[in-house]
Amino acid sequence: MSTEKTSVSGQGTHDVVNPEAAAAAVTAVDPRLLVREQGLAGYWGEFKRKMKAGELGSLPVVVGLVLICVIFQSLNSAFLSAQNISDITVTMVGTGMISVGIVFVLLLGEIDLSVGSVSGAASAIAAVLAVNQGMPEWLAVLLAIVAGAAIGALHGFFFAVLGAPAFAVTLAGLLFWLGFMLKILGENGTINLDSDGFIGKLTTYFFTDVAAAYGLAAVVVVVFFVTNFLGNRRRESVGIPSRPLSDIVLRTVLLAVVTFAGAIMYNQYKGLPLATVIFLGFLFGTDFLLRRTAFGRKVNALGGSVEASRRAGINVTAVRISVFAIAGGFSAIGGLFLASKIASANQSAGTGDLLMNAIAAAVIGGTSLFGGRGRTWNALLGVLVIVSIQYGLQLESIAEPVKYMITAAVLLTTVVIDSVTRKTQKTAGRA
């Protein structure tokens, strides 16, 4: 850094920092400005820097999705058909919603094994209230979600206040809420839902007007550009490094290609699915919560270091309870979508491979099992991988046991990548 010498009577010679030279030096070494300074070479240099530091981000899962599409499309031309992709994006919503809640818990470095049972219990509560008790479906749905959040908060209380391990608490919850679900469903074990009712339409309603899909795509692109542009203006006004306009335009164009391609695909089948719209809405909302609010920063800080967070004045107990409440609420929402898919609440709800798929989706998508790193968008990427594999194998009439083994192999690969990434970051001094 450039300095100037000055002498003060009685105090000797001191170094005085030249502000302009200092600003130039900071700009030159800030990796976020490589794109502005070097163009395409800057992108490549930034990419190599991140790879060396173990900052893989969502790259592995995106590459995996591309490979899955290439492999299954080569085996069966129906894999990338509009109908199959539409079915995949609707089917993934139930598990994806549960996985969003799991992301919050994993950010703390904890686990919630009860989400499957809670989702089943919530669907049973909604079915009993709406069908057996004659309550309006919208109100039954609201009470089921509140019940899920309350159950999660109860688990959080045992963990955060009484100090019981989250693993043990939620394992007990898995068994208890499974029994609770079986109890309220009664001897018959199944309550059929109206396929044309509020719950039924969650996964069966499509916006058939082509303007709906194109309009949503346009809104997403415009909001993305405006928020990034205004954010850059604010950063520049206070002298904080920001992305060049060309970078924002390039990202916006890439997003436009993806969103409008999706809109074209949906309009070739039944139209834009309501389930997908709701899921994307929750993803945008939770991403904003985690990245743009004080609560989100507290959650991420707590996953990094509990003691440091406590010393920083964060109410660790309140954050932990609220995170488990969020997980319970999203479990209930996911359970309602799963019930909508089969138009019933039955004894198998929340069982089988649902729990493992929800956790696997979060981890495969890029959320760290060690806490402190992840985004709710990881749930979307992860559940896309899992459901795409399931549909691809189904098209090829592959036996169910093979599906489990392939999903397990993908999960193991992701965990290994996560572990190697952490070691690489420690070596680079960035962990």
Residue pLDDT, tens place only, 188-221: 888 999 888 899 999 999 999 999 999 999 999 9
Average pLDDT (262-283) is 94
Question: What is the pairing mode between strands 12-17 and 3-8?
Answer: antiparallel
Q: Map tokens 């499309």 to a residue.
A: 73
Which residue has 């820097």 as its token pair?
49
What is the CA angle 416-417-422, rounded to 5? 100
376: pLDDT strictly greater than 50: yes
The pTM of this model reads: 0.84
Summarize the confidence of residues 58-85 as an average pLDDT.
87
Which burial class, exposed, middle or buried, applies to 359 when counting CB atoms under 10 A from its CB (0-12, 13-18, 19+)? buried
Give me the chain's average pLDDT, please.
84
Question: What was the pLDDT predicted at 8?
Answer: 45
Confidence of residue 298 (pLDDT cuts 50, 70, 90): very high
User: What pLDDT digit, counting tens, does each position of 74-91 carry?
Assistant: 988 999 999 999 999 999
**pLDDT score for 400:** 76
Task: Find the distance separating the first CA and the last CA of the chain, reported in whole Å.
Answer: 27
